[in-house]
C-alpha cells in the first residue's frame, strides 16, 4: 500500500490506474446509494459485476449510469433478484449462482437497513439483525465454494456498531425493550464479527474477509429516521467537535463513502485488512469496550473483533437460520 488515501478519497481516487478486467464481483444493494456507486466504479474499471437487489425494476432504473460506464471501461453489470429479509429468496439466489458455477473474486455485502421501526423479517427475525446480518450470513456461506483463492469478502458495517454489542441471548428483542439504534448497533457489530470469523475460517485457502465503515453519507439509509432526527444528531456531533477544537462535521459524498469498500476489496493488501475493521481507507485501531461513546470517535470496539465472540455469533446464527456451514 504505497498510495495513501483518507476520508475524502473517492472511488476514482483509489481505483486510479487499476484494471479489474477478468474480475467477477457480487455486490448487494445495487439499487441506490453506495451500492450503485460501488458497482459503477468496479464495472467502469473492467469488472463483471453481479448486483443483488430486492426490487429489479428499481435497480434497472438506478443503474443506467453503471451500464454506461461499464461499457466504456470494459466491464458489465447483471442483476440478481435477492431479498435479504427472506431466506427462501436468499437460498433461491444462491442456488442460481451455484448452478451457474461462475467463481467470484470479491463479494461486497453492502445492502442494509438502519433504525427501522420494530418488525420482523419473513423468517421471524428482528428486521435489522435479520436483514443486515443473517441474510448476508446465509448468502455468503452458501456461495463460499465459488470464491477463488485470493478473493475477498467485504462486509459493510458502521461506526454505529458502538451503540451495542450483539445479544446472543435475545437477538430478536423478545425480552428486551426495542430501541432502533441498539438494534442497528447489534446488526453492525454482527457484520464485523461475521467478517472476523469468516476470515479465520478461510484464510488458509487464501480467502480473506474484512469489515468497513463507509462514513456518514446521505443515502436512502436514513429513510426511517423521524423528522428532525438527522438535524439533531448533526448538531450534537458539531457540539462535540467544537468542544474538541475540531472543524464542523461534513457528510461524505457517495463516491467518498464507497471508497473504503473498494479500497478494502481490491487495493489494500489482503494481509493488512483480513480480519480487521477499516474506515477512511485505512485499518482502524481497536478501542476499549468501556471507552466513551462520542459520535466523533474513530476505531472499532474490542468486542466486535474478538474471535471467540465471533465464533459464538456464528454458532448462534447457524442455529437461527437452521443451516450449518463448513469451517
Distance between start and end Cα atoms, the chain: 30
Region of 228 on the Ramachandran plot (φ > 0 left; ψ -120 to 50 alpha; else beta): left
Based on the residue annotation, tell me whether 184 is a catalytic residue of this protein: yes
What CA–CA distance (Å, rounded) separates 75 from 216? 29
H runs (alpha helix) in the chain: 11-14, 33-44, 56-62, 64-73, 87-100, 127-128, 135-142, 180-202, 229-243, 254-262, 270-273, 307-321
What distances in angstroms separate CA 234 from CA 163, 250, 254, 300, one per listed residue? 17, 9, 18, 21
**Grid coordinates standing for 304?**
466486535
Chain centroid to CA 10: 17
Which member of 178, 184, 277, 303 is catalytic?
Answer: 184
Catalytic residues: 184
Amino acid at each position: 500500500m504505497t498510495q495513501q488515501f483518507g476520508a475524502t478519497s473517492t472511488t476514482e481516487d483509489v481505483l486510479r490506474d487499476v484494471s479489474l478486467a477478468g474480475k467477477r464481483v457480487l455486490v448487494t444493494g445495487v439499487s441506490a446509494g453506495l451500492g450503485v456507486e460501488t458497482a459503477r466504479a468496479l464495472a467502469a474499471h473492467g469488472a463483471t459485476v453481479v448486483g443483488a437487489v430486492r426490487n429489479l425494476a428499481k435497480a434497472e432504473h438506478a443503474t443506467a449510469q453503471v451500464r454506461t460506464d461499464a461499457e466504456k471501461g470494459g466491464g458489465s453489470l447483471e442483476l440478481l433478484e435477492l431479498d435479504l429479509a427472506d431466506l427462501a429468496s436468499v437460498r433461491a439466489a444462491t442456488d442460481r449462482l451455484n448452478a451457474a458455477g461462475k467463481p467470484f473474486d470479491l463479494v461486497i455485502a453492502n445492502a442494509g437497513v438502519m433504525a427501522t421501526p420494530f418488525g420482523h423479517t419473513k423468517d421471524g427475525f428482528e428486521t435489522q439483525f435479520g436483514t443486515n446480518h443473517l441474510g448476508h450470513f446465509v448468502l455468503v456461506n452458501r456461495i463460499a465454494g465459488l470464491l477463488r483463492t485470493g478473493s475477498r469478502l467485504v462486509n459493510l458495517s458502521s461506526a454505529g456498531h458502538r451503540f451495542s454489542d450483539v445479544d446472543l441471548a435475545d437477538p430478536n428483542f423478545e425480552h428486551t425493550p426495542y430501541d432502533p439504534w441498539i438494534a442497528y448497533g447489534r446488526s453492525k457489530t454482527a457484520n464485523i464479527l461475521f467478517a472476523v470469523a469468516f476470515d479465520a475460517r478461510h484464510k488458509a485457502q487464501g480467502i480473506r474477509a474484512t469489515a468497513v465503515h463507509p462514513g456518514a453519507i446521505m443515502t436512502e439509509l436514513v429513510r426511517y429516521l423521524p423528522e428532525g432526527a438527522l438535524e439533531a444528531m448533526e448538531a450534537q456531533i458539531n457540539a462535540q467537535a467544537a468542544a474538541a477544537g475540531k472543524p464542523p462535521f461534513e457528510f461524505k459524498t457517495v463516491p467518498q463513502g464507497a471508497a473504503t469498500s473498494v479500497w478494502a476489496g481490491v487495493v489494500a493488501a489482503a494481509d493488512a485488512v483480513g480480519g480487521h475493521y477499516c474506515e477512511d481507507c485505512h485499518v482502524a485501531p481497536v478501542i476499549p469496550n468501556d471507552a466513551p461513546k462520542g459520535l466523533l470517535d474513530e476505531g472499532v470496539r474490542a468486542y466486535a473483533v474478538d474471535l471467540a465472540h465471533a465464533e459464538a455469533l456464528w454458532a448462534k446464527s447457524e442455529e437461527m437460520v437452521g443451516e450449518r456451514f463448513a469451517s
